Amino acid sequence: MAINMETGKSITAQELSEQGILKPKEVRQLISEEKITCPTSGMCPGYAQANLVVLPKEYAYDFLLFTQRNPKSCPVLEVTEEGDRFLRKIAPGADIASEIPKYRIYENGVMTGEYTNVERFWRGDLVSFLIGCSFSFESELIDAGIEVRHITEGCNVPMYITNIECEPAGVFSGKMVVSMRPVPYHQLVKAVTVTEQMPRVHGTPIHIGDPSVIGIKDIAKPDFGDAVPVNPGEVPVFWCCGVTPQSVVMNVKSSFCITHAPGHMLITDVKNTELKN
């Protein structure tokens, strides 16, 4: 808790993050101290966020090949050395086991718990995959004058399992998961061109309009995250989502897996502008 010097009102760590007052490293510190445990959407505007998938080495080749074959769903930003808990590239020195607000652990495909710290579960054979997240382009959309509904509503982004098959690789296969943001007709083209510049955080939309075309039955009932209103004059726009690899890993029922909890991402030191083509 801090004090806003202008208003004299107290201000939370989350508010400091969202206003961009705290740097990613400082926010990650607060996360590792469990002072921030909420979804990270809107935090550290301008900095890229990343999805996490941690797997035993025996699965690493098939999973890396899956990301290569499904680059729009799984744009890999960094892969750690086997057993190494610390990042080198997108957030140098960051501890993967404590600097994400919430984790999920899966054993044989079953979620066995949600944790704010997974240090005690770490093993020498684990490889971490950090995958670009669509949260990264949200501040770019906002800068371009496009409202991001779930940020306005203060909830998690709605995510849906589609009927689109990912390209399989080894043991990994499954349906594509997408995130949705409603966009007014007059801003549809801008939503495409803004995100086109950022292929390493999912890039252009995978679908615009009628959700049933990609197998979504009820836009009001997302499979992950929270529903948001789609107002008259707005079109649902769907982007590939970093939950896809998680969903696929669940299908495989790998002996062990750690992921971030949906919406609770790693905030990296990489600026979105650095991810542009």
Q: Rounded CA gap, 163 and 42, in Å?
A: 29
Q: Does 68 bind its own copies (CB under 8 A)?
A: yes
Under 8 Å between Cβ of 196 and 204: yes
Q: Rounded CA gap, 14 and 20, in Å?
A: 10
Q: Does 277 bind its own copies (CB under 8 A)?
A: yes
Q: Does 64 bind its own copies (CB under 8 A)?
A: yes
| Cα separations in angstroms, 190 against 45, 145, 152, 205, 240 | 19, 9, 19, 11, 17
Of 161, 157, 173, 159, residue with least CA distance to 214 = 161
Question: What are the backbone angles phi and psi of residue 201, rounded to the nearest 5°?
Answer: -125, 50
Q: Does 273 bind its own copies (CB under 8 A)?
A: no
Least Å distance between CB 161 and its own copies? 25
Q: Which of 69, 121, 155, 271 binds its own copies (CB under 8 A)?
A: 69
Q: Does 23 bind its own copies (CB under 8 A)?
A: no
Q: Rounded CA gap, 134 and 239, in Å?
A: 8
Q: Which stretch binds its own copies (CB under 8 A): 7-15, 16-24, 59-67, 130-138?
A: 59-67
Q: Which of 61, 210, 229, 253 binds its own copies (CB under 8 A)?
A: 61
Q: Rounded CA gap, 193 and 152, in Å?
A: 22
Which residue number, 65 or 105, has a Cβ lying nearer to its own copies? 65
Q: Does 109 bind its own copies (CB under 8 A)?
A: no
Residues 179-218 touching its own copies, rule: CB under 8 A, are 196, 199, 203
Residues 79-98 touching its own copies, rule: CB under 8 A, are 79
Cβ neighbours for 209, distance < 8 A, ≥ 6 positions apart: 235, 236
Which residue number, 115 or 239, has a Cβ lying nearer to its own copies? 239
Q: Does 45 bind its own copies (CB under 8 A)?
A: no
Q: What is the largest CA-CA distance in the chain?
A: 58
Which residue number, 228 or 248, has a Cβ lying nearer to its own copies? 248
Residues in contact with its own copies by the rule CB under 8 A: 60-61, 64-65, 67-69, 76, 79, 196, 199, 203, 277
